[in-house]
Structure 1
Amino acid sequence: MATILMDLPSAWDALDGVNLPRGYHVEITDGKIIMTPQGESRSDILLEAAPQIKKQLAGQGKLLTDVMIDFPSHLYGYAPDLTVVAPGSERNSRGRFEWHSLEAVIEVVSKSTRDNDFTKKFRMYAECAIPVYVIIDPSDNTCTIHSNPTRTGVYVDQEQIAFGEDLVLPLEGREIVVKTDGFPRSES
């Protein structure tokens, strides 16, 4: 995918030169800087899923975790839990990948990020035509795969799977299969 160099302001510009504390997931939503402590379930899921995805990409794309992505907005700066960057994508003049380089985004929700993951990120990712958006919800032991985005901010297709079933990421010309049987399960 070719990179379109744009001089759009990035929400991340507000944090240039700022030393951020370790152990926090930092994003910008509605122009507000949101710092969320990283939870154990989130960490366990990411440590389980990331090596599976990276191995299957086998050089056909790049896997990022908690890395700033430039979106076409000065009010939204997201650093998705896991991001699959399309093969051949290049960084912009700021050294970051842009929204149009993404093949899939995976977010692990927590009580404090629920609204962002299910509404604001859902809408932004669909408007930006990110082909696959997966929400992993440890509170109900499910993964929801959203695909076929529209510019109106919705995904047309949705599939929900339970932890223990295979999570299939339908990428361009290939599929990535993530075994979820090792994901920590909620007792509630």
Structure 2
Amino acid sequence: MTSPPMDTASAWDALDGVDLPRGYRVEITDGKITMTPQGESQWKVILKAAPQIERQLAGHGDILSDVMIDFPSSLYGYAPDLAIIAPGSERNSRGRYEWHSLEAVLEVVSKSNQDNDFSKKFRMYAECSIPVYVIIDPSAGSCTVYQHPTRTGTYRDDDVVPFGQDLVLPLEGREIVVRTDGFPVDDGDR
């Protein structure tokens, strides 16, 4: 997959040369840099989901966690909790993947970042045509799978999957199934 040229500077350029502390999630929304500590529930969901996805990708794509992705705006720089990279995708001249390389994004939300994950990321991911966006909410004990993005910043379809049921990620020409029965229900640790 070849990358179309980026017309704007990357939001991540603002952090070039900055030594970021470990254990913190760093993202840029509306041009503002946000650092939040990773919560226990978030970490446990990522730890349980990532190996399942990686095993099923079997070399046909890649999975990343908390890795900078370039979006077509100098005001937004996201590092999704889990990002599934399409097979054949290449890094840009900055050494990063771009938004059009993403087949799916999975974000684990907490009460402190719901506005960021539920509205701003939802809109950006849809406008960038990310085919599958999953919000995993440990406080609700469920995952919401959004599909069929529109250029107006919405998704046409959504499906709620309670923890304990299989989470099916419909990727290009294949499906990834994630067992959620081990996902923790948030008890307020974040």
Give the shorter-chain TM-score range.
Answer: over 0.9
Counterpart CA distance in 1 for 2:152 and 2:18 is 34
Which residue pairs with 2:172 in the alignment? Answer: 172
Counterpart CA distance in 2 for 1:105 and 1:113 is 16
Deviations 1:30-65 (A, max 9, x none): 100000000000000000000000000000001000
Counterpart CA distance in 1 for 2:111 and 2:180 is 21
Structure 2: which 5+ runs fail to align? none
Counterpart CA distance in 2 for 1:52 and 1:138 is 18
Structure 1: which 5+ runs fail to align? none
Q: How many residues align?
A: 188
Which residue pairs with 1:9 in the alignment? Answer: 9
> Letter of the aligned partner of 1:178 in structure 2?
V
Provide closer, same or farther for how the CA distance between residues 187 and 81 of structure 1 changes in structure 2, counting only shifts above 3 A: closer
Counterpart CA distance in 2 for 1:40 and 1:70 is 27
3-state secondary structure, aligned to 2:69: coil
Which residue pairs with 2:61 in the alignment? Answer: 61
Confirm or deny: 8 A CA contact 1:5 1:93 kept in the other structure.
no
Q: Say what the alpha-carbon RMSD is for the aligned residues.
A: 1.0
Counterpart CA distance in 2 for 1:171 and 1:120 is 23
Within 5 Å, which residues of 2 pair with 1:1-188? 1-186=1-186
| Aligned sequence identity (%) | 73
> Letter of the aligned partner of 2:85 in structure 1?
V
Confirm or deny: 8 A CA contact 2:41 2:186 kept in the other structure.
no
Provide closer, same or farther for how the CA distance between residues 82 and 176 of structure 1 changes in structure 2, counting only shifts above 3 A: same
Deviations 1:117-142 (A, max 9, x none): 10000000000000000000000100
Deviations 1:101-157 (A, max 9, x none): 100000000111100110000000000000000000000100000000000000000
Confirm or deny: 8 A CA contact 1:69 1:97 kept in the other structure.
yes
3-state secondary structure, aligned to 2:63: strand
Counterpart CA distance in 2 for 1:140 and 1:120 is 20
Shift in Å, 1:187: 5.4
3-state secondary structure, aligned to 1:13: helix
TM-score when scaled to structure 2? 0.97
